Amino acid sequence: MPVWLSEIADIENRYHVEYAFCVALGFLFHRSSGSVLLQLKGAGAPWFPRMWELFGGRMEERDADDPVAAWCRELKEEIGVTLLAEQAHPVDDYVNEYGFRRVVFYAAWPTLQRDFHLTEGAGYEWFPIDEAARLPNISPLARRDVLALARTIERAR
């Protein structure tokens, strides 16, 4: 097992505790190419500036404690994508080393569309899953989530 995978397992074991807040994030997944859409955070981002991350954000009161509703709302706000709740498939749900709950989803996407209406971040790009996990400037949490998505997709086959 690679060292970074054992580090993730250690983090998972240490941080099953109460959390400060919840973020709902996820991937658009293009099945035939095995690619995921990632967001490049801007230089002024409070978390992981200039790094690749998932689309999503903090759960708000209007989400009624529903991470799926939060992720769907965030996708609409950040790239203009409207998803139905039933299109969101669970990938992971954990409390990370920063003390916040991170709920991760994916939704199948029919094309490698490049004309999203970006309102947050510095950009976006489609990456094959294996390449995404090896990006030098992917956040450590996004790397963990990409690997969790790969396992989820593999189990679904």
For 54-69, how does the pLDDT look when each residue is reduced to its tens digit (9 = 90+)? 999 999 999 999 999 9
In this predicted model, what pLDDT tens digit does every residue of 8-36 receive, in sequence order? 445 445 444 455 789 999 999 999 999 99
Query: CA 59 to CA 49: how far, in whole Å?
Result: 20
Q: Of 1-5, 27-31, 88-92, 130-134, which gets the smallest average pLDDT?
A: 1-5
Q: Is the pLDDT of residue 3 over 70?
A: no
Amino acid present at 114: R
What value does the mean pLDDT take over residues 87-115? 95
Question: Which pLDDT value is given to residue 10?
Answer: 53
Q: Is the pLDDT of residue 102 over 70?
A: yes
Query: CA 63 to CA 74: how far, in whole Å?
Result: 10
Q: For residue 138, what is the domain's CATH number?
A: 3.90.79.10
Query: Can you list the alpha helix ranges (DSSP code H) found in the chain?
Result: 3-14, 67-79, 129-133, 140-156
What letter does residue 86 receive in the DSSP assignment? G
Query: CA 1 to CA 133: how far, in whole Å?
Result: 15
In this predicted model, what pLDDT tens digit does every residue of 111-147 receive, in sequence order? 999 999 999 999 999 999 999 999 999 999 999 999 9
The model's pTM is 0.86
Contact 24, 67 (CB under 8 A): yes
> Which tokens sit at 41?
């955070």
Segments forming the whole domain that contains residue 25: 3-156
3-state class (DSSP) for residue 110: coil
| Structural domains counted in the chain | 1
